[in-house]
Copies of this chain bind each other. A is one copy, B any other.
Amino acid sequence: MTKKYTVLPAFLLSAFIASATPLASPDGKLAIEPGLDSAGHPTYSVSFNGLPVVSSGILGLKADEADFTSFAEIKEGAVVAEDNTWKPVWGEFETIRDNYTEMPVEYTTSDGRKITVRFRAYNDGVAFRYEIPEQQKVNYLTLRDEATTFPLAEDLSVFAIPGDYDTDERLYVESPVSQLGKRMRVRRHTESSGIPGVSVQTPLMAKSTKNKLYVNIHEAALVGYPAMALEVDTANIVFKAHLTPDRNGVRGYLQAPFHTPWRTLIISDDARDILASQLILNLNEPCAIENTDWIKPMKFVGVWWEMFVGRSRTWAYSNKYNAKPGITDYSSLESNGRHPANTENVKKYIDFAAENGIDGVLVEGWNEGWEDWAGWRKNRQFIFDKAYPDFDVEALRDYAAEKGVKLIMHHETAANAADYERQLDRAFQFMVDNNYPAVKTGYVGHIIPRSEYHSSQWMVDHYLHVAQRAADYKIMVDSHEAVRPTGLCRTWPNWIAQESARGGEFESMGGNPPEHTCLLPFTRLKGGPMDYTPGLFQADLSYYGEGKNGGGKTTLARQLALYVTMASPLQMACDLPENYNRFPDAFQFIRDVPLDWSDSRWLEAEPGDYITVARREKNGNDWYIGGVTDENARIAMLDFSFLEPGKKYTATIYEDGADADFRSNQQSYNIRKIKVNSKTKLKQKVAPGGGFAIQIKAADDLAGL
């Protein structure tokens, strides 16, 4: 059924508001409704169980060539309903249900230009995107603004990091929207961030303090468009889309036919549903890779943490401060002797991985260029197919193969994406030639091309290009400092993980407060898996001497929980092998924990406070539970009803010791075994900043052990 509204004088526009059709979710609880505001701008409103969530958010795009913010004609398209399931290559579920209603609304300007807003309502959220159809009057658009706003119906509490064109590696502030201007630093325009005033990044998690309401705002399928931050109008509780510009002030260079990413709102009255939501993945395109056999989740160790704990360790081979990759003869330089990426040391990691069933070893600092760091100023910082003299690529390739371990390559670009693209085919061929199935990319510094930011359109295109080209070479990508993910790993499952948030490395730089990992699953992880690098057993860095104080804000048991609460097909065991050897019983959990899941059940969750999740391994019957809390001790309430009724299981619980505390007694932990079944209810103590991890095996599966 198509309704058509011809909007002539402004006073008649209100007719549309009166008669517009709300699009209801399949279960009828959520609705998104197109409308018009008093100024004649198209709007949308969102309600949940009849409760308003977004009230008259503005819709529209502005380009040099066309203004898509006010219209003369509005035409609703037919509502369609879809209900499918699909199987991800890896993930939290073996099958994912994609169930929604959809309605396109076509808006026509007074001079005949058309734009469609496609609305979708899922049971777990709503989404919309702009589509510019092929038409005679629109071809290129030099995008200046996206008018989209999210006016909240209530002054929700948000968990926010500041809007930034270049980084997401920040700690979250919890604040009512109205107070964000006081709680967050108000920023002036700076070279690296660029968003003046109060702004926040997405995924943005919000909750009501009055109603049972949780809202997550983000975007899905960011392709060919800049990443969105949100400007905050604290007086009116309105977020407005703020697209990352290039340094010439252009937000995007578009050509019709075109569609933007989806703007997403995951909504529920239960925080666990926010975590369970697969809405972002559902809004992405199906897998674009035909044969995905070569995409395999990986657990890995690496030399990286040595550089954080030992102040005398360096990525660089030599102390030659002005060595130039590809020009300097590195073989003539003296090694500084403080360079973990050397053949002998890497062999130790390979040995450790082989002995412990760890799939891979990542080595940073293996290639020419680390002697100085001058991002932005160097047109060539690194070469990606030339190893330092003390890193024997062929010997390590053969040694790793012999031990059944894979090496993971590191491509730090120093944010010189231009030079990385220049070298990309050769770099990937070098990886293939030397048997590397995965690469960790890095973009530390200011972007080259110097017209770009980390989140501008050209760079968004770049990261995807790297993933796509990597797929040509059957290489998996773990991108660090790249734009925050938006579910593209569904389409390109070789883009196996990203950083794009403040990760475990910060445990060596002031630490991550325990609430941080009670938030990431609600925020950053909605876009896709994170290479957080858990597994820190020796969090107190004063252990190493060398003037390092304090360090990680975590108990040891909590680190085990993160493998389950922060599910990722790529998980590091970040600590030094000698630390794992000091705690072999605890390390057993890291050896055992799967990276791929057939089912996930969130038992408890409250953003910033606690998360408890149970997951069943892919292709197996074992369940794993991870639980984390914030700085407060608590009792987790575990209901084992997810287990198969009537079946007997043994649970191995890795828990905080009775006296454990993330501030003072991190390494106090306890391991115990109990019998459980689907009727079991367990009260599990969690220390301040602590956590627990449980492995659950069916009794018959244990018979053979």
Contacts and interface: CB of A to CB of B under 8 A. Distances in A.
Contacts of A329: none
A449 B457 CA distance: 12
B450 A324 contact: no
A449 B142 contact: no
A247 B458 contact: no
Interface in A270-327: 321-322, 324
Interface stretch (A340-348, A421-429, A546-554): A421-429
A377 B140 contact: yes
Contacts of A452: 449-451
A379 B252 CA distance: 10
A8 interface: no
Interface string A253-265: 1011100000000
A378 B255 contact: yes
Contacts of A372: 139
Contact of A449 (B418, B424, B465): B418
Interface secondary structure of A, over-half rule = loop
A234 B175 CA distance: 63
A134 interface: yes
Given A248-B450, A421-B422, A422-B421, A140 B374 contact: yes
Contacts of A378: 140, 253, 255
Nearest to A419: B421
A596 interface: no
A131 interface: no
Interface in A236-260: 246-248, 250, 253, 255-257
Nearest to A376: B253
A372 to B, nearest CB: 7
A379 B458 contact: yes
- Copies of this protein, total: 2
A443 to B, nearest CB: 16
Interface in A171-209: none
A263 to B, nearest CB: 22
Interface string A594-625: 00000000000000000000000000000000
Interface residues of A, number: 37
Contact of A255 (B142, B256, B377): B377
A373 to B, nearest CB: 11
Contact of A139 (B246, B321, B418): B321
Contacts of A322: 134, 139, 255-257
By CB atoms of chain B within 10 A, which of A134, A321, A422 has the most? A422
A461 interface: yes
A449 B378 CA distance: 16
A246 B450 contact: yes
A139 B374 CA distance: 10
A246 B451 CA distance: 9
Interface in A401-421: 418, 421
A457 B379 contact: yes
Contact of A379 (B374, B377, B461): B461
Given A374-B140, A377-B142, A451 B247 contact: yes
Given A139-B322, A139-B372, A451-B247, A379 B418 contact: no
Given A247-B247, A451-B450, A422 B379 contact: no
Interface in A440-494: 448-452, 457-458, 461, 465
Contacts of A379: 224, 253, 457-458, 461
Contacts of A418: 418, 421, 449, 458
A632 to B, nearest CB: 48
A189 to B, nearest CB: 15
A376 B458 CA distance: 12
A422 B377 contact: no
A255 B374 contact: yes
Contacts of A461: 379
Most B C-beta atoms less than 10 A away, residue of A255, A448, A457: A255
Contact of A451 (B224, B422, B449, B465): B449
Q: Which of A224, A418, A424 has the largest count of B CB atoms less than 10 A from its CB?
A: A418
Contacts of A246: 450
A448 B465 CA distance: 16
A535 to B, nearest CB: 37
A458 B418 CA distance: 10
Contacts of A139: 321-322, 372, 374
Nearest to A421: B422
A119 to B, nearest CB: 26
A460 to B, nearest CB: 10
A286 B256 CA distance: 50
Q: Which of A374, A379, A457, A458 has the most CB of B within 10 A?
A: A379
Contacts of A451: 247, 449-452
B253 A377 contact: yes
A322 to B, nearest CB: 5
Contacts of A425: 425-426
A191 to B, nearest CB: 9
Interface string A2-16: 000000000000000
A192 B425 CA distance: 32
A449 B256 CA distance: 22
A140 B421 CA distance: 24
Interface string A84-114: 0000000000000000000000000000000
A378 B224 CA distance: 11
Contacts of A421: 418, 421-422
Nearest to A135: B322
A579 B489 CA distance: 58
A424 B452 CA distance: 21
Interface in A208-229: 224
Given A421-B421, A421-B422, A422-B424, 14 more contacts: A134-B322, A224-B379, A247-B248, A255-B324, A255-B374, A255-B378, A256-B322, A257-B322, A379-B458, A418-B449, A418-B458, A448-B449, A449-B451, A451-B452
24 contacts: A140-B374, A140-B378, A142-B377, A224-B379, A250-B450, A253-B378, A255-B322, A256-B322, A418-B418, A418-B449, A418-B458, A421-B421, A421-B422, A422-B465, A425-B425, A425-B426, A448-B458, A449-B449, A449-B450, A449-B452, A449-B458, A450-B451, A450-B452, A451-B452
